[in-house]
Amino acid sequence: MAIGAKTDHVDVLIVGAGPAGLMMATWLAKCGIKTRIVDKRGTKIFNGQADGLQCRTLEIFDSFGFAHRAWIESNHMLEISLWNPDDKGVLRRSSRIPDTVPGISRFQQVVLHQGRIERFFLDAINDFSQGKISVERGVMPTSLEIDPKVVEDPDAYPITVNLRHLSEEEAQPKQTSTSANGTTVQDGLFRSNLSPDDTADMLKAAELNDKADTVEVVKAKYMLGADGAHSWVRKELGFKLEGESTDYIWGVLDIVPITDFPDIRQRCAIHSASSGSVMVIPRENKLVRLYIQLTTTAKIGEQDSRADRSWITPDVILESAQKILAPYKLTYRKLDWWTAYQIGQRVDLTSRPTIESFSLVMLFIPTAPRLVRV
């Protein structure tokens, strides 16, 4: 425990204010449970990132009372077209099918950028909690302790977490500004699994910055880790994800396209004869998202191995898309956002911590949301 630091008591402490953390905060606010939610980043997401909403997600939004907001603003996915090479290797539309299984829900899959989805959650949290719960940004945990002697006491606060407040400069992610068609664009690589974990660097910078010299202690009954691919909570609990580090690298472009491809405003799965694949996702405000296969790499056994991302640029991603879509042409009027990520599979094979810690700390695993009891 930090000496001289103020101490706060909460029922639940949430680390990470992305969609997973905000979803939990919304439920807790609706149930009237005393909660704090912190995030090391200084601002919410304004563009890019996750964009798809499934039928069941919209049904949950409806139970919160804001499904109509997502429904009105989003682009609706009615059909999906499948494109494959013919006998001569020329790209052809092979079929067109409903995007959502008919009758499965009164909603269908839609797409809307993560910033708007987070805004819906933030407004709901404020309403349900009457302003008592809000995201505390630029705040990150530095230590986690669990007192096994009181874990069975429903009135006790067995979890102790030190929180450090970062300066505005430290809380901003380091993003590469890329000139695209004369426009400066910020990428999303800082959230990609191609990017190294910057938690240690942020903590070191905070210790040296007088403006960020604020530490407090939070004692909680429960804690939720929803802090992304480089989860601090997961590491503190001793989980180590093992698996294959490198398989495929995919680039992502959010663009206003200029193209003669006929299905650009329809969801498409496009497989070329020899240049890879593209997924087309039409979005709001004339945007189209392209998921583009860039390369195949050899599998590496080292657990922390990542592909070199220095060669990945919007131009490289666009060139790959142009090869896949040939003979159709593709360029863009506006690049709104871009990123790249590496495909892999990992699982936790380590032994679980002691039984006394069960159910006290929970993890939401990015890209495959599931609850891990520890």
CB-count exposure of residue 315 (10 Å: 0-12, 13-18, 19+): exposed
Check residue 16 and give its pLDDT: 95
pTM of the model: 0.81
Q: Could you give the CA distance from residue 188 to residue 176 in angstroms, rounded to a whole number?
A: 9
Check residue 292 and give its pLDDT: 96
Q: Are 356 and 241 in contact (CB under 8 A)?
A: no
Check residue 208 and give its pLDDT: 44
Which one, of 352, 350, 328, 333, lies nearest residue 278 by Cα? 328
Which one, of 54, 68, 51, lies nearest residue 120 by Cα? 68
Check residue 49 and give its pLDDT: 75
At a CB cut-off of 8 Å and minimum separation 6, what does 342 contact? 192, 193, 194, 245, 246, 247, 248, 249, 306, 307
Q: Sign (positive/negative) of CA torsion 101, 107, 110, 113?
A: negative
Check residue 93 and give its pLDDT: 97
Helices (H), 148-219: 199-208
Please give the structure tokens belonging to residue 205.
């910078």
Q: Could you give the CA distance from residue 356 to residue 265 in angstroms, rounded to a whole number?
A: 53
Q: Are 160 and 275 in contact (CB under 8 A)?
A: no
Helix (H, G, I), strand (E, B) or coil at 115: helix
**Domains defined for the chain, CATH in brackets:** 7-74+112-239 (3.50.50.60), 78-106+246-344 (3.30.9.10)
Helices (H), the chain: 19-30, 55-64, 67-73, 114-129, 199-208, 232-236, 314-325
AA identity, residue 129: S
Q: Could you give the CA distance from residue 346 to residue 364 in angstroms, rounded to a whole number?
A: 14
Structure-token match 């070329």, residue found: 272
Numbers of helices and strands, H then E, in the chain: 7, 22
Using alpha carbons, list the distances in angstroms from residue 341 to 12, 98, 170, 245.
32, 28, 24, 12
At a CB cut-off of 8 Å and minimum separation 6, what does 101 contact? none
Q: Are 357 and 374 in contact (CB under 8 A)?
A: yes
Check residue 44 and give its pLDDT: 76
Structure-token match 């496009």, residue found: 270
DSSP 196: P
At a CB cut-off of 8 Å and minimum separation 6, what does 127 contact? none
Query: What phi and psi values does residue 179 have, to the nearest 5 degrees?
Result: -80, 120
Check residue 309 and give its pLDDT: 67
Averages of pLDDT over runs of 10 residues in the chain (374 residues) are: 77 95 97 96 78 94 97 94 95 95 92 91 97 94 93 92 84 57 57 50 51 82 90 86 71 96 96 94 92 67 55 91 96 93 71 52 51 35
Helices (H), 169-271: 199-208, 232-236
